[in-house]
Amino acid sequence: MVVNFDSRRVQLVLALRKAGITDSKVMAVMESIPRNIFLAPILVKHAYEDVALPIGFEQTLSQPGVVGIMTQALDVTDRMKVLEVGTGSGYQTVVLSRLVRRVYTIERHRELLEKAEKRFKELKISNITAKYGDGTFGWKAQEPFDRIMVTAASLDIPPILADQLSIGGIMVVPIGQTSDLQSILKVKRTEDGFETEEIREVSFVPLIPAEV
Ligand code: SAH
């Protein structure tokens, strides 16, 4: 089957608009990234649908609408140094890399990290530094960060990560007490503490296509 990825990408943009993405830079970057290369061949036909998809180890490539909402909430500029926790497929990492100066990303599954790094090379991206490890400890040698994006749900705002934010810095993190419903929080570090704002409720339940 020949898949016309160009028309699929147009579909994706429409889905992103529906999800509430109004930031034209985020929209343009997401439109330009081939989401199919982040997936196993059997799932490629679903690459431009607004659904989360499995990437192995019970992890998922996040739904594009959620990637868009979280990226928009992070409110980045091209001068920023950003930390991402949970590289996964590397899709969110690549979206960020096109919008900021440098992205540091941490993944706790070695195999996922290796695959993601191959994709960064394939796309000829040179402003991503990736490492294997537990991202809840952040990346001490590189702090402070202008922005921190956490792409795995946490029970509470991770304190070490909050501490690695610069003053005026923003962290976007899904917070949830249950496994299938989280709230995306935007946490801003001020001179005297932290301000939080709820962006929206999300469900990270992956869609498993019937034929898999
Ligand atoms: N942004 C990813 C979504 C990945 S799902 C994408 O677009 O593909 C969440 C990822 O966070 C998984 O790959 C999981 O292994 C990773 N993860 C969970 N806890 C972690 C931790 N403590 N440190 C680093 N990575 C973690």
Residues 134, 64: Cα–Cα separation, whole Å: 25
- Residue 136's identity, in one-letter code, is T
pLDDT in tens, 142-161: 999 999 999 988 888 999 99
Active-site residue flag, 183: no
Beta carbon of 108 within 6 Å of any ligand 1 atom: yes
pLDDT in tens, 157-212: 999 999 999 999 999 998 886 667 889 999 999 999 999 999 988 765 332 344 44
Is the pTM of the predicted complex or chain greater than 0.85?
yes
Beta carbon of 63 within 6 Å of any ligand 1 atom: no
pLDDT in tens, 39-66: 999 999 998 888 889 898 888 888 899 9
- Identify the helix (H) or strand (E) that includes residue 148: strand 145-150
Beta carbon of 39 within 6 Å of any ligand 1 atom: no
Test site for ligand 1: of 36, 51, 59, 179, most ligand atoms within 8 A of the Cβ:
59
Six-digit token pair at 193? 């503490």
Beta carbon of 59 within 6 Å of any ligand 1 atom: yes
Cα-to-centroid distance, 135 and ligand 1 (Å): 9
Residues 27, 78: Cα–Cα separation, whole Å: 15
Residues 87, 61: Cα–Cα separation, whole Å: 10
A 10 A CB-CB count for 60 gives 20
